Amino acid sequence: MMESFIDYTLAYIKEQNPIHYKKALKNIKELKKDDFFERATTFLDKYDQLLENNGKTRKYAIDCYLKLLADYTHEGLIFRETGKYSSTSFDEVNKRVYANPEIMQYYMHGLLVSQFLWKHHYVLLKYYIENLAHYVTAKSYLEIGGGHGLYVNEALNAFSEDTTFDVVDISESSINMAKHFVNNEKVNFIHTDVFDFHPKNKYDFITMGEVLEHVEDPVKLLLKVKDLLKPSGTLFLTTPTNAPAIDHLYLFRNYPDILAVLQKAGFCIENEIKVYAEDVSEEMAEEFKITMMFGGFLIKKL
Amino acid sequence: MNQKQQIILDLNEIFTDIIDEGEIMLNPETTANDIDGWDSLNHIQILAAIEKKYTFKFTLTEIQNLKNIDDLTNIIVQKTSA
């Protein structure tokens, strides 16, 4: 029998990057104890197949992930010294990253692999899936910045047959990857900047995972999202604090920073989760500026 | 003592200080497999301390190719003699 994707990944990381191996091993051990592990395995089997169909190997995918880690370490060093993210304008990031297929390829594969190796990624995904059950009456779903397509894939499983699905993404590479991954004609993929997206109808449910930190003005983006949402609609939003990366622009230093932006845009939180990227105390997380992932189901403020 | 040996002594001090798990004895072949506390959280602090001590910046490629103490020592030799 073929070695599982997770076991192969761990063995490869142990050999190539023993520094990261410790964290990866710990996270996978915890994941294996969780009832979510079965879903992770199903997902990774699908991903494994996608790699094969595209003539790519597991090694290629994990190399993308290790390159992404090196990128984060490099950006992390700059962040420690300057207290800022290194990129400053959306146009610069758009040219350097989103419109660059070579960079986007490794970025997307790297992020997909991270989905189950990073606790804060799989805990967030699990939280999303478990809570989607409360929103199954939604008849229209929009995802902004669909990335690799994992979240819309889960929404397809959760919502009813007659729900419509639209995904807007600024990167053509992302859309191509998500199309292959989701492989469902019900999903309408739209390659555009969300600010240029003007649909006829508003949406019952919008997902926007890890997009807010990619823009210069998060309030402006949230106001656009608010306009796309029906009065009684729900927005599922995730965004990290202290997460230096080549394509991150807006720095949320802490949870109150996120709350302030949500409030300014007229959203309130119905349900939320906060997960740190490392298993450390709150004090240590603050001292070392450890990334915290925020996820929340939001509604428009009355 | 040659330059590389001196660098390893300096690295020993940095590692011991950051990892804080007793005495550490580095040699060129040492990898993270040999030191429990050399994990991703401490790694970035170690790199930051090296950048500060030797006043240079690691490039992305250097970070990507780092496997053991010898790699780290070679980068420091190269950067400080440039």
Distance CA A107, CA A157 (A): 26
Q: How far apart are CA B77 and CA B82, in angstroms?
A: 9
Per DSSP, helices labelled H in chain A are 5-16, 18-33, 37-53, 58-82, 90-93, 101-117, 119-132, 150-158, 172-182, 218-228, 255-264, 282-287
Q: Do A74 and B39 touch (CB under 8 A)?
A: no
A62-81 burial code (b ≥16 CB/10 A, e <16)? bbbbbbbbbbbbbbbbebbe
- Pair (A100, A140) in one structural domain: no
Residue ending a domain, choose from A73, A98, A117: A117
End-of-domain residue from the set A86, A117, A148: A117
Is A20 near chain B, with CB under 8 Å? yes
- A70 to chain B, any CB pair closer than 8 A? The answer is yes
- Residue located via tokens 């240079």: B56
Q: What is the interface size between A and B, counted as CB pairs within 8 Å?
A: 52
Contact between chains at A20 and B40 (C-beta distance less than 8 A):
yes
pLDDT of A2 reads 80
pLDDT value, residue B75: 97
CA angle A156, A157, A163 (to 5 degrees): 45
Closest by CA position to B62, among listed B51, A45, A117, B53: B51
pLDDT per position as a tens digit, A238-266: 999 999 999 999 999 999 999 999 999 99
Cβ–Cβ below 8 Å for A23 and B40: yes
Q: How many CB atoms lie under 10 A from the CB of residue A174? A: 23
Given a cut of 90, whether residue B48 has pLDDT beyond it is yes
Domain identity same for A232 and A274:
yes
Beta carbons of B39 and A19 less than 8 Å apart: yes
The dihedral through the CA atoms of A181, A187, A192, A194 has a sign that is negative
Q: Do B32 and A81 touch (CB under 8 A)?
A: no
CB-CB neighbors (< 8 A) of A65 in chain B: none
Task: Report the pLDDT value the prediction gives residue A284, as an integer from 0 to 100.
Answer: 87
Task: Give the pLDDT score at A115.
Answer: 87
Beta carbons within 10 angstroms of residue A87's beta carbon: 19
Distance, in Å, from the CA atom of A115 to the CA atom of A139, rounded to the nearest integer, reads: 28
Over residues B13-18, mean pLDDT:
95
Q: What is the C-alpha to C-alpha distance for residues B64 and A288, in angstroms, rounded to an integer?
A: 22
Which chain A residues are closer than 8 Å to B39 by Cβ? 19, 22-23
Residue ranges of domains in chain B: 7-81
Q: Are residues A191 and A111 in the same domain?
A: no
Distance from CA of B15 to the nearest CA of A (A): 13
What is the mean predicted confidence (pLDDT) over A116-140?
93
**For range B72-82, the mean pLDDT:** 92
Residues of B in Cβ contact (< 8 Å) with A20:
40
Distance from CA of B5 to the nearest CA of A (A): 23
Question: Would the CB atoms of A19 and B40 count as touching at under 8 Å?
Answer: yes
Give yes or no for residue B82 having a pLDDT over 70. Answer: no
A136-195: pLDDT as tens digits: 999 999 999 988 899 999 999 999 999 999 999 999 989 998 998 899 999 999 999 999
Nearest CA in chain A to B51: A77
Q: Which of A117, A152, A183 is the last residue of a domain?
A: A117
Selection from A103, A105, A148, A151 nearest residue A127 by Cα: A151
How much is the average pLDDT of B18-47?
92
Chain A residues near residue B59 by CB distance under 8 angstroms: 74
Range of the domain at A170: 119-300
Nearest to B58 among A23, A74, A280 (CB): A74
Nearest chain B residue to A278 by CA distance is: B41
Q: How many structural domains does chain A have?
A: 2
Write down the pLDDT at residue A198. 98
Per-residue pLDDT, A279: 86
A128 and A260 inside one domain: yes
Q: Residue A227's Cα: distance from chain center in Å?
A: 22
pTM confidence score = 0.93
Supply A29's token pair.
């051990």
A202: CATH = 3.40.50.150
β-partners of residue A295 are A238, A273
Q: Which CATH number fits domain B7-81: 1.10.1200.10, 2.60.40.3120, 3.40.50.1000, 3.90.1150.170?
A: 1.10.1200.10
CA within 13 Å, CB half, B41 = 20
Tell me which chain A residues have a C-beta less than 8 angstroms from the C-beta of B63. 70, 73-74
Question: Does residue A221 share a domain with residue A128?
Answer: yes
Residue-level pLDDT at A280? 86
Average pLDDT over residues A116-141: 93
